[in-house]
Amino acid sequence: MSGSKQMVDGPVLATEELRLDVGAGETAVRILDGVGLSCAAGEIVGLVGESGSGKSMTLRTAVGLAPKGARLTGSVRVAGRELVGAGRREVLRVRREIAAMIFQDPRAHVNPYQRIGAFVADGLRRTRGWSRARAAQQVVSLLDEVGLPDPETLADRYPHELSGGMLQRVMIASALSTEPRLLLADEATTALDVTTQAEIMGLLRRLREERGLAIVFVTHDLDLAAASCDRIHVMQSGVVVEEGPALEVFERPEHPYTRKLLDAMPSRLDAEAPMPIGGAA
């Protein structure tokens, strides 16, 4: 990790009383209604809640990607820098130096005609002004770091030649190219099969360990969040209604909404189903 970045005490991401409104007059809608969330270096924080509860919008707001014309109040601090009310230059600096984001569908974020190596090199060339040759070397090291086999050959391939899991690793390599301290993962494993999902989670856990990354992980999958996250924030209608260590929240949920979400988990429903005759002991 680069030693040149100013380290700050406290969480890498902290939002307080974050409110976000879109539209005007009678069509005005409050999307975030006082979100309080934090994520420290070396921590994986899960953000769970039903569809439309504001999980993605919270992440997007943390990198200055709120919808155009949206009104934002409260506080979003990334590595100590306040983004609410910040100018474009400050927001771009945060995106270039501190925070990176990965998404559910990597194919929607690559150029199908650009080789993998050139795609990952883009960040390095743009943010550091590195030469093509120097960036290419670093790309191989990044592809290797995210567990892709034969990175030199892989750098010459096109996106359609890679599986979804491999492409998500490429996206992570690209996100790491600017040496971020905060990684925002929006449903980054949702489109993958269970085995690949577990492998990507294993990679994220290793990266938070080795790089001290702060990771906020948005997911619908409560089992995955319980197994992989240190802390959980539960969102409902633009508000974080419950927050705590993952196992505690899952074993002793306090908020009725969390209990409702947990009761609807397929794994819990299965647990209550009668055991078939001759089933596992």
Ligand X SMILES: Nc1ncnc2c1ncn2[C@@H]1O[C@H](COP(=O)(O)OP(=O)(O)OP(=O)(O)O)[C@@H](O)[C@H]1O
User: Contact positions toward ligand X, by CB under 6 A?
Assistant: 22, 31, 49, 51-57, 67
Nearer to ligand X, 64 or 151 (CB): 64
- Residue 211 structure tokens: 């790089």
Nearer to ligand X, 83 or 116 (CB): 83
How far apart are CB 52 and ligand X at their closest, in Å?
Answer: 4
Nearer to ligand X, 49 or 159 (CB): 49
How far apart are CB 68 and ligand X at their closest, in Å?
Answer: 8
How far apart are CB 190 and ligand X at their closest, in Å?
Answer: 9
Nearer to ligand X, 10 or 52 (CB): 52
How far apart are CB 19 and ligand X at their closest, in Å?
Answer: 13
Contact criterion met (CB below 8 Å) for 13 and 62: yes
How far apart are CB 37 and ligand X at their closest, in Å?
Answer: 13
How far apart are CB 67 and ligand X at their closest, in Å?
Answer: 4
Nearer to ligand X, 22 or 227 (CB): 22
Nearer to ligand X, 68 or 89 (CB): 68
